[in-house]
Amino acid sequence: MQKWIKDLYFKPQPKVKIFRSEDYLDFIRDKPCLMCGAPPRSDAHHEPFGKAGWAIKAPDSQAIPLCRGCHNRRGGKEGLAFLEKKYDIKMKIIEYLTEYINECLQM
């Protein structure tokens, strides 16, 4: 096999750094449940979009607050349809990120 073909197909790809922030997860946990409004302390549920899946945990920036019951429902048979009944999840994630950034800038 020619070298350029090997380089094209077998060259190791750079590892993408995934956003992790315990401070941001605490911010999310201090929010009421997105679905039922149960008071904090919520679970920080990582909503998988794009490359996230069974073997890849979604970045912390994709976390949403869910109480334990709603978190279990999201992971169960109802799946994403459970959340999408009430919200555009990507827009809620953007709202949480914006609020967090604004709080950080005021410090």
Q: Give the tens place of pLDDT for each residue, 74-102.
A: 877 777 777 777 788 889 999 999 999 99
pLDDT band at 7 (very low <50, low <70, confident <90, very high): low
The more confident residue out of 28 and 11 is 28
pLDDT value for 31:
96
The more confident residue out of 13 and 61 is 61
Structural element, H or E, at residue 43: strand 43-46
CA atoms within 13 A on the CB side of 92: 20
Lookup: tokens for 86: 């009430």
The 10 Å Cβ neighbour count of residue 37 is 9
3-class secondary-structure state, position 45:
strand
pLDDT value for 12:
66
Domain ranges of the chain: 19-106
Is residue 44 within 8 Å of residue 29, measured between CB atoms? yes
pLDDT value for 47:
85
The 10 Å Cβ neighbour count of residue 8 is 9
pTM, whole model, 2 decimals?
0.76
Mean predicted confidence (pLDDT) in 16-39: 93
Side chain identity, residue 54: W
Q: What is the percent of the chain where pLDDT is above 70?
A: 81
Contacts of 76 (CB under 8 A, 6+ apart): none
pLDDT for residue 1 is more than 60: no
